[in-house]
Amino acid sequence: MSAPPAQQRKEMEKTTIEVDIRTVKTVDSNEPGIIRDRLVEVGWQQKRLYSADFSFWSINYKKIGVERKDTVDLFNSLGERLSQQLYKMLEHYDFNILLIEGSWKNVYNSVFSVKGIQFYQWSVVWNFLRTWQDKGLTIELTTNPEHTVKRLGELYTYYQKEVHTGGIKRQVIGDPRLLAFCTGIGPVIGKELLEKFGSLRAIANATVEDFLQVDKIGQRKAQALYDHFNSGAQNPDQLKLGDVSNE
């Protein structure tokens, strides 16, 4: 004969272990083994995450997401791919962190060439990151995978203090590519340039004559745009301080 319902409930209550979700820390199962294994050793769970590479809860039940990019991957994904990843995080988490791992020296040759711009100028990189910080993203820097594991533990501890979870106001920013242009090129002209050329890469490869075909761009702005996206293309000894301003 089975036990009465009331007795069954009591027995179930004795065997049920309640888990405080604030103790749950998760690492994405696609993360490198050197990081994933170390975190699992100290109590992290591994599973496929919808967005971000790591997630955990704060003391007051706010969800934190951390996206890890080593410096090479950061530059390879900079633009639409990384933007989509970060947008998904903003929709899913209360606090969003981009953790950049490794040395910037690893990507120097991917940024500059003898001509100047190869893929991105440093200003484009910093402006991209600044745009996402204005949206509510925060930046963490680590030197290697071991440092990343250590910093993740520190971040979890940090968010277990209520004083650190007051909230972040998210701001809506337009196309982040607009921040890549030089002084004097506002959002209206910037949008026209992007519509005409299609991408920052195409703009970077354009000539002064190409820029002159765009409304509201005269000789001075055309030259300034060309110089901005082709810094280093000429021998620095041949440059004069008045090259742009005196035209």
Phi, psi of 189 (to 5 degrees): -65, -40
Check whether residue 105 and residue 67 sit in a common domain.
yes
Range of the domain at 203: 181-238
* CATH code of residue 89: 3.40.50.10130
Q: What is the mean pLDDT of residues 225-244?
A: 51
**How many whole angstroms separate alpha carbon 63 and alpha carbon 49?**
13
Give tens-digit pLDDT for 61-72.
999 999 999 988
* CATH code of residue 186: 1.10.150.20
Amino acid at 146: E
Mean pLDDT of the chain: 79
Is residue 11, in this structure, part of any structural domain at all? no
User: What is the model's pLDDT at position 108?
Assistant: 58
Check whether residue 121 and residue 229 sit in a common domain.
no
Q: Which of 129, 164, 199 is the last residue of a domain?
A: 164
Check whether residue 223 and residue 125 sit in a common domain.
no
User: What is the model's pLDDT at position 231?
Assistant: 62
Check whether residue 194 and residue 133 sit in a common domain.
no
Strand 54-57 with 137-142, pairing: unpaired
Check whether residue 201 and residue 113 sit in a common domain.
no
Check whether residue 228 and residue 125 sit in a common domain.
no
Check whether residue 160 and residue 193 sit in a common domain.
no
Is residue 188, in this structure, part of any structural domain at all? yes
Is residue 14, in this structure, part of any structural domain at all? no
Check whether residue 232 and residue 147 sit in a common domain.
no
Strand 54-57 with 25-28, pairing: antiparallel
> What's the pLDDT band for 79 if we cut at 50, 70, 90?
confident
Amino acid at 40: V
Cα four-point dihedral sign 163, 165, 166, 170? positive
Q: What is the mean pLDDT of residues 208-224?
A: 92
Q: Which residue has the higher pLDDT, 175 or 221?
A: 221
Residues 6+ apart with CB under 8 A from 239: none
User: What is the model's pLDDT at position 238?
Assistant: 33
Is residue 175, in this structure, part of any structural domain at all? no
Q: Which of 164, 198, 213 is the last residue of a domain?
A: 164
Is residue 54, in this structure, part of any structural domain at all? yes
Give tens-digit pLDDT for 114-172.
444 444 567 778 888 988 998 889 999 999 999 999 999 999 999 998 877 764 444 44
> What's the pLDDT band for 241 if we cut at 50, 70, 90?
very low
Is residue 10, in this structure, part of any structural domain at all? no
Residues 6+ apart with CB under 8 A from 119: 75, 110, 111, 201
Q: Has residue 51 got a pLDDT over 70?
A: yes
Q: Has residue 104 got a pLDDT over 50?
A: yes
User: What is the model's pLDDT at position 5?
Assistant: 60
Is residue 2, in this structure, part of any structural domain at all? no
Tokens of 188: 């209206």
Check whether residue 128 and residue 59 sit in a common domain.
yes
Check whether residue 201 and residue 146 sit in a common domain.
no
| Overall domain count for the chain | 2
Check whether residue 139 and residue 189 sit in a common domain.
no
**How many whole angstroms separate alpha carbon 166 and alpha carbon 163?**
6
Q: Give me the DSSP letters along the chain.
A: -PPPHHHHHHHHHHH-----GGG-EEEETTS-HHHHHHHHHTT-EEE--SSSSEEEE-TTS-EEEEEEEEHHHHHHHTTHHHHHHHHHHHHH-SEEEEEEES-GGGGHHHHB-SSSBSS--HHHHHHHHHHHHHHTEEEEEESSHHHHHHHHHHHHHHTTSGGG-S---------GGGGGSPTT--HHHHHHHHHHH-SHHHHHT--HHHHTTSTT--HHHHHHHHHHHTTTSS-GGG--TTTTTT-
Q: Which of 138, 164, 190 is the last residue of a domain?
A: 164
Is residue 171, in this structure, part of any structural domain at all? no
User: What is the model's pLDDT at position 11?
Assistant: 57
**How many whole angstroms separate alpha carbon 221 and alpha carbon 208?**
9
Check whether residue 94 and residue 193 sit in a common domain.
no
